[in-house]
Amino acid sequence: MAFQSNVINSQPQVSVTQYNVSSGASDWSSNVCDCCEDCGICLCAAFVPCILACKVAQDNGESCCLPCLPGAMIALRTSIRSRYRISGSVCDDWLIMACLPLCGLCQMAREQKMRG
């Protein structure tokens, strides 16, 4: 009868690696009230906002008719935030588009122009 020794000579080692995980969220490149930062976008929003809204929708890959639907500009703003990983919430989007719709539209157009 052979006797085998199961003696443990060393303990298993645990290595710990630390990772810094960031959400990657950023802010809008301009403030919602910085409408005059881009005069072309500002003038377009002031005089023909439907054209600017169609362009913003199309640049986001949506139908030009999207801005005609009730609440669609809130959804468009949320979509742009998601695409560019901009921090915020649907509630923030609703508040901007309900209280400052043309300023919000200008902000979305400026963001697309800057990141496009």
How high is the pLDDT of residue 9? 73
Residue 104's pLDDT is 97
Averaged pLDDT in 10-residue chunks for the chain of 116 residues: 68 60 76 92 96 97 94 97 96 97 97 93
Q: Running DSSP on this structure, what letter comes out for residue 66?
A: G
How far apart are alpha carbons 98 and 20 in whole angstroms? 37
Return the closest-CA partner of residue 38 out of 92, 91, 97, 116: 116
Task: Give me the pLDDT at residue 25, please.
Answer: 76
pLDDT for position 3 = 64
Structure tokens belonging to residue 5: 């020794």
pLDDT at residue 18, as a whole number:
53
pTM for this entry: 0.78
Residue 5 C-alpha from the chain's centroid: 62
CA dihedral 70, 72, 78, 83 (to 10 degrees): 170
